[in-house]
Amino acid sequence: MSWSGGAAGLPAGKLPVDLLRSLLSSNPIEDPAVVVGPGIGEDAAVLDVGADELLVAKTDPITLAGANPARYLLAVNSNDIAVMGGEPRWLLVTALLPEGIRASEVAKLFDEMRAACAELGVGLVGGHTEMTVGLDRPILVGCLLGTVRRDRLVRSSGARPGDVVLLAGGVALEGSAVLAREHAEELLRRGVPAAVIEAAASWIERPGISVLTAARLLNAEGQVHAMHDPTEGGLATALHELAEAAKVGLRIHLNAILVLEECRAICTALGLDPLGLLASGALLATMEPAAATAALERLRQAGLAAEIIGEVVLPEHGRILVLESGRCVPIPVFARDELARYLETSGLAARQAEP
């Protein structure tokens, strides 16, 4: 393994792609029961345990959520099961809690976890809880197991040249909601109307950040070639991950991407790019053009926003973003999520880390 990333420490957020690629290359998977192992752009592991269905496994933490982290934890983990074509079934949770937390707060967190699991039909089957030195907030880490029919397994690497790229949901719902909830005073100071902030703050619950329904509808006919849920680093990062996994190029049309007005107002006020902002609640999928009309209709009948935003092309054609003017530029690369950049440049990250 080798990676020449310099001597500087790594910023908050995902590992740099080159470092991650180097780490993964040093971990060859030889077990034939591993159907899908670790890979850039792949959302979960898939294991063949000899049953009629395959086992889908995912782990994801919650480190930024404020209100109701349990619901958040279920959403981000179940999203990754769903985009593999699977159904979430069993959850294990590691809860690292700050010293001095009250028993009533622990009980509330457990009640929220049970309620969130019940909403999705997921069993809370195990985990670990401890009070941990040095924390100023709870850190939850979920390990979610699900199942998928063998003929309905979907991988990010399944995207093919000639496919259309479908986006269900708007971009940066999650990031906009976090900013509206946690930094409302700063947004007001910068001229964002209170009604806009209030609307964006509600997006965690409605329309919500779960893509389980959208994934089920898209895979209902077994015609989707790839699915991927944008998260940290926003839609742009997810597009790069999809292209990397499938070894394809992309041609994406900026004017087809749904950016809600509240999101646009918040990002403009803070100098952020919606394409690089936390994006749970959106879902990318690719399929043959002939299947796209019916897929869009299923989503829209369910009340979900959806549009065709581009095409999968040969890798030598690159990863292109077509601007509203018609000019073509590379899809932007975000070394870290726009939320993390804002917190650092505004000095909020350092203040939030103070005891």
Give the architecture-level CATH label for domain 156-351. Alpha-Beta Complex (3.90)
Distances (CA, A) of 194 to 184, 197, 265, 339: 8, 5, 11, 20
Q: Which CATH number fits domain 17-152: 3.30.70.20, 3.30.1330.60, 3.30.420.140, 3.30.1330.10?
A: 3.30.1330.10
Q: pLDDT tens-digit profile of 129-146? A: 999 999 998 999 999 999
d(CA 293, CA 265): 31
Burial class (CB in 10 A: 0-12, 13-18, 19+), 130: exposed
pLDDT in tens, 162-217: 999 999 999 999 999 999 999 999 999 999 999 999 999 999 888 989 999 999 99
224-228, strands of its sheet edge to edge: 224-228, 283-287, 164-168, 306-313, 249-253, 319-322, 328-330
What is the dihedral sign for C-alpha 324, 327, 330, 332? negative
Please say whether the beta carbons of 201 and 65 come within 8 A.
no
**CA–CA gap between residue 177 and residue 200 (Å, rounded):** 5
Separation CA 79–CA 208 (nearest Å): 12
202 φ/ψ angles, rounded to the nearest 5 degrees: -85, -5
pTM of the predicted model, to two decimals? Answer: 0.89
pLDDT tens sequence across 61-110: 988 656 788 998 999 999 999 999 999 999 999 999 999 999 999 999 99
Distance CA 295, CA 289 (A): 10
Residue ranges of the domains in the chain? 17-152, 156-351
